[in-house]
Every structure is written in structure tokens, then in C-alpha cells.
Structure 1
Amino acid sequence: MAITLNKHTELNPLQVSLLRLFNRPMTESEILELKRVMVNHYSGFLEKEVTKVAEDKGYTQDDFDNILNADS
């Protein structure tokens, strides 16, 4: 699967707000905690999208098991 990157350079208002919010010294543990929060947040979106695609395509758990257990 190819990933297409958008080539825009302008920041949206949320990005600007986040840059302003985090424009301060932070410890490594604070940075790690923020990364965890973001990963948890976006993993929820990913899980919903994967579930939707699997349902739309009619995939079952057996289909996924077969893919995982197929010889390479």
C-alpha cells in the first residue's frame, strides 16, 4: 500500500495552537506521556476504520487467521 504525502506547508489553526501550547521546556517523561496520549487517541480512530473496512469487505476472523498463518 502506497502512502501519499500532501505537500502543503501552511499550518492549520490547531497545529499553530499546539505549537504555542508546547512552546516551553518539557522533561523527557512529559514528552513521552504526550506521545502516549496521542498514540492512544489516534489508535482509536484506526481501530474504528479497520473494523469498518473489515465489515464492508465481509472479512471474518477466519480470514485474518488464514492470512496470518499463510506461508510466506
Structure 2
Amino acid sequence: MRALDMPAPFIVTRTAQGRFVLTADVTLPEDAGEAVGLAAVIESFDGTIAYWALAHPSDKPDFHHPDSFALDLT
């Protein structure tokens, strides 16, 4: 894994029907690789933290684990 030289994503948030909606437009460079890992850390009003990802390859959240890059871009 490496940092990519890329522009900042364009992010829009809104609420709809009691839900929080986040839309992100991300422009990846051509050499970004073949897979990405989508993840979020959500803190509730009561301080509870939840870890969300397309894949959690182990018992504890590890967003840097190679198997967490589960979205195939090819």
C-alpha cells in the first residue's frame, strides 16, 4: 500500500428519510492498482464506535490488511 498523488475527492453529504447519505467522487490515477478498500469509522451520538468495511479479514478491524482491499477495479 502506498499514498497516491491525486486530487482531493469531491464529497457531498445530506440527510434523506432519516438517513445520512455521503456521496464521494474520487478520481484515481491510472496506476492506482486493481483493488480498493472502502471503509468508514462511525461514531454515534452516545460515543459508540462502529467499523464498517466491504471486508474484515480478521476479528479486529484492520483497514490496512491486504485482504480488506475487496473492491476489484478491473
Same fold by TM-score greater than 0.5: no
The structure whose Rg is larger is 1
Which of the five TM-score ranges fits, normalised by the shorter chain?
Answer: under 0.3
- TM-score scaled by structure 1? 0.25
Greater per-residue helix proportion:
1
- TM-score scaled by structure 2? 0.25
